[in-house]
Amino acid sequence: MQKVFTSFQSLIKVTYFWKENYVFLREFKYFWGIAVLAIIFSFLGAIFEGAALAVINSFLQVLTSPEKTSINLGIDWLNVWIFGSKSNISDRLSRLGFLVVLLAWLRSTFAYLGPVYAKLTDASFADRMRKSMFEQLISLSLSYYSQTRSGDLVNSLNNEIATIQRGFGAASAFAIRGSTLIVYIVAMFLISWQLSIVSLGLFTMLSVMISSFVIRVREASFPVSQAGADFTSTGIELISAMRTIQTSSTQNFERTRFYSISEKVKKALFKLNKAVDLIRPLAEAISTTILICVIVTAYNIFVVSGQLQPASLLTFMFILFRMMPLVEQVNGLRVEIGSYGGSIAKIKEVLSTEDKVYLKDGDLEFTSLKNSIDFFAVDFSYDALDKPVLHDINLSIKRGQTTALVGTSGAGKTTLADLVPRLYDPTHGVVFIDGVDLKELRISSLRRKMAIVSQNTFIFNASVRYNIAYGVENVSEDLLIEAAKQANAFEFILDMPKGFDTVLGDRGVRLSGGQCQRIAIARALLRKPDILILDEATSALDSVTERLIQESLDQLSKGCTVIAIAHRLSTIVRADKVVVLEKGRIVEQGSYQELIERKGALWKYHQMQNSSVEIDS
């Protein structure tokens, strides 16, 4: 049995449908039981619907032709005791009427359970899609985010997944109604195969016509998805840049831009809805025409000639009347599913692994830095088509020492530092830690032993306590307070309305720049890092705040291997090694005093700062 299942699975996986929809179909392994129950309940609902139709046909036959046997299953006791084949008309009607009611209630029960479990399947599918998106986003290299708008990703994570959930619900409804339609078709053929062929032929022509509309709807869905992504990106950018907009007095410019994007969304939706809304009334009118034509033809040709009993025609009509709304719904669902093509393409694009850079995790656990971090012939570019940002970097950073990176804006200082925690991998060359290729180490174990304090500290919209203890488990109150004190943050935290429980707002809106930096330093202190990266941590601060931050950094740096990206040269005078970069290349390295005496690149920067012309590093 297992071999048969494995063979069937292998056959499925080579089909075009599987390959095209693999990113969605693979999620079913997490909730296949619920999906199977939804299918079983829907199928049972359809079966009882068909059984009810058979009994209704017999019921009508007893009413119109009581002398004829209504049902003969070939099992005597069933014919006699259940259907009352030897009973009088009144008894047969009562038995058949009871069976119709019983089957109707059974059908209704499963007609309820089927959609309920289908909805649960929809919710489970959306849950798995959100989790898959999350896993994808945290697995990608940062280079992906430098090339992708955050608004597009937020739109995919929120709006597009919600749209796909609706599409999945439409597909479930299509399957449920489709199974009922199949039962109706079988019942129609049992009554009259001639009428069934005519009816199905006409309805097939209607379906083919609808298919051309489905293609138009699918094509119209792509601009809607793109317009939604553009609108989300613009909205996020607008809210994030509100301070700049107001201080620059560019409200009119932004109003024009926002209105234009909103207009594009409106036009795209109108075009899509115009195509969708045309189909239902058209399908209803054609279906009604088909129904009337079939009934008139059936009576004049089959009933008048005696080929079809009036009861059978009534049952056939009953089936057609029940089928008509189902056919309309199925056609409507086909159109609806087609309208989600743009969202499906967006999600597949994000979840695709073919065109994205991933950081492959290593197997070795990193415990601590024992000797040095070494760069050998390292080149790096953010994209294969871009110019390299770093060229032939050869550098050794000794344990316990402070290495400062100096250079103009765009020299590659931050990029070089980002290679150490493996935010990126070198395009060429190797980075070693204690003689082990960085790629062989487990990324999580490496980053747990590091802390980064940058110029732009991210503050979560949560409490002070959460922000300081972020990423560190089971932090005691004493350790939290000690870290805050060492970071010179304790006093201003106590001045807040709820102290450590004060919520800091979106991106730390309630804090000054210096306070954000001290929260970040307290966060780094709690991690007790082996390796500390300071990315222009004191830039753009006033002299008093800079002094406080520098004191906090001195506390943080004790016992650490420090990589400091310097803005003010006065902060790196005591560094063990200074590395000067220009256009992605190391032009000189040595102690601060040695490089000043050489009167090379560092000496020029030194002269510029001493002349009160601050370099942008």
Domains of the chain (ranges; CATH) run: 126-351 (1.20.1560.10)
Per-residue pLDDT of 324-333, as tens digits, reads: 777 777 777 7
Question: Side chain identity at 569, as an amino acid letter?
Answer: L
pLDDT over threshold 50, residue 347:
yes
pLDDT over threshold 60, residue 615:
no
CA dist., res. 385 & res. 408, Å (int): 24
Higher pLDDT: 503 or 71? It is 503
| CA-based end-to-end distance of the chain | 68
**Per-residue pLDDT averaged across 286-299, rounded?**
75
Confidence of residue 78 (pLDDT cuts 50, 70, 90): low
Name the H helices within 433-542: 443-448, 464-468, 477-486, 490-494, 513-527
Per-residue pLDDT of 3-33, as tens digits, reads: 655 665 666 666 666 677 777 778 888 888 8
The answer to whether residues 379 and 392 touch, using CB atoms and an 8 Å cutoff, is yes
- Beta carbons within 10 angstroms of residue 404's beta carbon: 25
Confidence of residue 345 (pLDDT cuts 50, 70, 90): confident
Q: What is the DSSP secondary-structure string of 258-318?
A: HHHHHHHHHHHHHHHHHHHHHHHHHHHHHHHHHHHHHHHHHIIIIITTTSS-HHHHHHHHH
Burial class, 375, CB count within 10 angstroms (exposed 0-12 / middle 13-18 / buried 19+): buried
In the chain, the percentage of residues whose pLDDT exceeds 90 is 9
Q: Provide the pLDDT for residue 374.
A: 94
The answer to whether residues 176 and 118 touch, using CB atoms and an 8 Å cutoff, is yes
**Per-residue pLDDT averaged across 61-71, rounded?**
59
- Beta carbons within 10 angstroms of residue 258's beta carbon: 15
Radius of gyration of the chain (CA): 36
CA dist., res. 467 & res. 483, Å (int): 12
CA dist., res. 601 & res. 588, Å (int): 7
SS3 content of the chain, % helix, strand, coil (to 5): 65, 10, 25
**Per-residue pLDDT averaged across 208-232, rounded?**
75
Q: Is the dihedral of CA 278, 279, 280, 283 positive or negative?
A: positive
pLDDT over threshold 50, residue 74:
no
pLDDT over threshold 70, residue 613:
no
Burial class, 574, CB count within 10 angstroms (exposed 0-12 / middle 13-18 / buried 19+): exposed
Q: Provide the pLDDT for residue 337.
A: 75
Q: What does the block give as tokens for 132?
A: 């898959």
Strands (E) across 276-414 are located at 372-380, 390-398, 402-407
pLDDT over threshold 70, residue 557:
yes
pLDDT over threshold 60, residue 383:
yes
Question: Side chain identity at 212, as an amino acid letter?
Answer: S
DSSP 65: -
Most confident of 7-21, 91-105, 443-457: 443-457
CA dist., res. 550 & res. 218, Å (int): 59
Q: Provide the pLDDT for residue 6.
A: 62
CA dist., res. 478 & res. 493, Å (int): 15
Q: What does the block give as tokens for 26?
A: 């693979």
pLDDT over threshold 50, residue 280:
yes
CA dist., res. 59 & res. 53, Å (int): 10
- Residues comprising the chain, all counted: 617
Per-residue pLDDT of 134-188, as tens digits, reads: 888 888 777 777 777 777 777 777 777 887 888 888 888 888 778 778 887 887 7
pLDDT over threshold 70, residue 541:
no
CA dist., res. 30 & res. 85, Å (int): 50
**Per-residue pLDDT averaged across 56-74, rounded?**
60
DSSP 391: E
CA dist., res. 488 & res. 467, Å (int): 15
pLDDT over threshold 80, residue 204:
no
Confidence of residue 75 (pLDDT cuts 50, 70, 90): very low
Q: Provide the pLDDT for residue 275.
A: 72
Q: Which strands sit side by side in the sheet containing 428-433, from one edge to the other? A: 390-398, 372-380, 428-433, 436-437
CA 131, distance to chain mean position in Å, is: 7
pLDDT over threshold 50, residue 73:
no
What is the rounded average pLDDT for all residues in the chain?
79
Q: Provide the pLDDT for residue 542.
A: 58
CA dist., res. 492 & res. 498, Å (int): 11
For residue 379, what are the β-bridge partners? Answer: 428
For residue 380, what are the β-bridge partners? Answer: 390
pLDDT over threshold 70, residue 125:
yes
Most confident of 13-17, 232-236, 485-489, 582-586: 582-586
pLDDT over threshold 70, residue 577:
yes
Q: Provide the pLDDT for residue 509.
A: 75
Q: Provide the pLDDT for residue 416.
A: 93
Confidence of residue 378 (pLDDT cuts 50, 70, 90): very high
Per-residue pLDDT of 42-56, as tens digits, reads: 888 888 877 777 777
Q: Is the dihedral of CA 454, 458, 464, 466 positive or negative?
A: negative
Confidence of residue 428 (pLDDT cuts 50, 70, 90): very high
CA dist., res. 446 & res. 135, Å (int): 20
How far is the CA of 318 from the CAs of 69, 290, 607, in angstroms?
21, 14, 96
DSSP 609: H
Q: What is the DSSP secondary-structure string of 2-59?
A: HHHHHHHHHHHHTSHHHHHHHHHHGGGGGTHHHHHHHHHHHHHHHHHHHHHHHHHHHH
The answer to whether residues 507 and 461 touch, using CB atoms and an 8 Å cutoff, is yes
pLDDT over threshold 70, residue 522:
yes
Helix (H) or strand (E) holding 202, with range, is helix 193-240
Q: What does the block give as tokens for 158?
A: 């929120």
Per-residue pLDDT of 454-485, as tens digits, reads: 877 788 888 889 888 888 888 888 888 888 88
- Beta carbons within 10 angstroms of residue 548's beta carbon: 19
The answer to whether residues 173 and 42 touch, using CB atoms and an 8 Å cutoff, is no
Tell which residue, 141, 148, 616, 134, has the closest CA to residue 419.
141
Q: What does the block give as tokens for 506?
A: 């979106």
Q: Provide the pLDDT for residue 88.
A: 65
Confidence of residue 617 (pLDDT cuts 50, 70, 90): very low
The reported pTM is 0.69
DSSP 463: B
pLDDT over threshold 70, residue 521:
yes
pLDDT over threshold 50, residue 426:
yes
Tell which residue, 532, 372, 384, has the closest CA to residue 452.
532
How far is the CA of 326 from the CAs of 122, 185, 245, in angstroms?
21, 12, 54
Q: What does the block give as tokens for 280?
A: 């239902």
CA dist., res. 3 & res. 295, Å (int): 51
